């Protein structure tokens, strides 16, 4: 696993050796960042269910101003901190070892890009979107990585499902704020 481009380009990232962690492939990561490439610069990013932190780190490397990394696994948070230190991006990040729902309920920030990659087949995305939606800026984008065939809601508050992308057994769903006609 590595950072694809930006200030930390080519840096290798650690990951956990566990069946519970499913790192995003470089192909999917490149696709996700081509979807939001014009929204990254200066943005505040939320990497929810962050695992090793590779998605938020990629966003920071590409010019995001700040990233929040949230994972309920202490080991994942430790690996994320190590990866942030090794890439020189730690000063622009906060790592929270806590439940995603608890984090969102107490967060007092507004996110421009949210990346959700929770464990598959547990119905988590459908439950977290309504809690996340009030925490989004007016032009926010939400990227959801999930198993193919998952039927997500067309709308959640101000969010609407703009497009789905398929990469083998993985799908990426893009949510945007209603009225965002980009």
Does 15 fall in a domain? no
Confidence at residue 20, expressed as pLDDT on a 0 to 100 scale:
57
Residue 3 in any domain: the answer is no
What pLDDT is stored for residue 19 in this prediction? 47
pTM across the whole model: 0.91
Region label for 19, one of left (φ > 0), alpha (ψ between -120 and 50) or beta (otherwise): alpha
Q: Give the DSSP per-residue string, 65-113.
A: SEEEEEES-HHHHHHHHHHHHHHT-GGGEEEEES-HHHHHHH----EEE
Let me know if residue 13 belongs to a domain.
no
Which region among 4-8, 129-133, 138-142, 174-178 has the lowest average model confidence (pLDDT)?
A: 4-8
Average pLDDT across the chain, whole number: 91
155-166 pLDDT tens trace? 999 999 999 999
pLDDT at 8 over 90: no
- Please check whether residue 166 lies inside any domain of the structure: yes
The CATH number of whichever domain residue 164 belongs to comes to 3.40.50.150
Residue 11 lies in a domain: no
Q: What is the pLDDT of residue 182?
A: 43
Tell which wins on pLDDT, 13 or 9: 13
* 146 within domain boundaries: yes
Asked if the structure places residue 126 within a domain, the reply is: yes
Q: Are 70 and 131 in contact (CB under 8 A)?
A: no
**How many domains are contained in the chain?**
1
9 assigned to some structural domain = no
pLDDT tens by residue, 23-81 = 676 688 888 898 999 999 999 999 999 999 999 999 999 999 999 999 999 999 999 99
The residue range of the domain holding 128 is 26-177
Taking 50 as the threshold, does the pLDDT of residue 114 lie above it? yes
């Amino acid at each position: 696993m590595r950072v694809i481009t930006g200030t930390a380009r080519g840096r290798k990232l650690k990951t956990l050796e566990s069946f519970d962690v499913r790192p995003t492939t470089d192909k999917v990561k490149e696709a996700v960042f081509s979807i939001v490439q014009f929204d990254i610069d200066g943005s505040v990013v939320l990497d929810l269910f962050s695992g090793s932190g590779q998605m938020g780190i990629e966003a920071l490397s590409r010019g995001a101003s700040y990233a929040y990394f949230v994972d309920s696994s202490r080991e994942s948070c430790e690996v994320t901190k190590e990866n942030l230190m090794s890439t020189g991006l730690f000063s622009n990040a906060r790592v929270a070892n806590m439940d995603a729902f608890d984090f969102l309920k107490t967060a007092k920030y507004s996110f421009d890009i949210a990346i959700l990659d929770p464990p598959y087949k547990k119905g988590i995305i459908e439950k977290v979107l309504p809690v996340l939606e009030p925490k989004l800026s007016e032009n926010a984008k939400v990227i959801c990585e999930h198993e193919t065939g998952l039927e997500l809601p067309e709308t959640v508050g101000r969010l609407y499902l703009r497009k789905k992308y398929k990469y083998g057994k993985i799908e990426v769903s893009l949510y945007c704020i209603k009225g965002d006609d980009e």
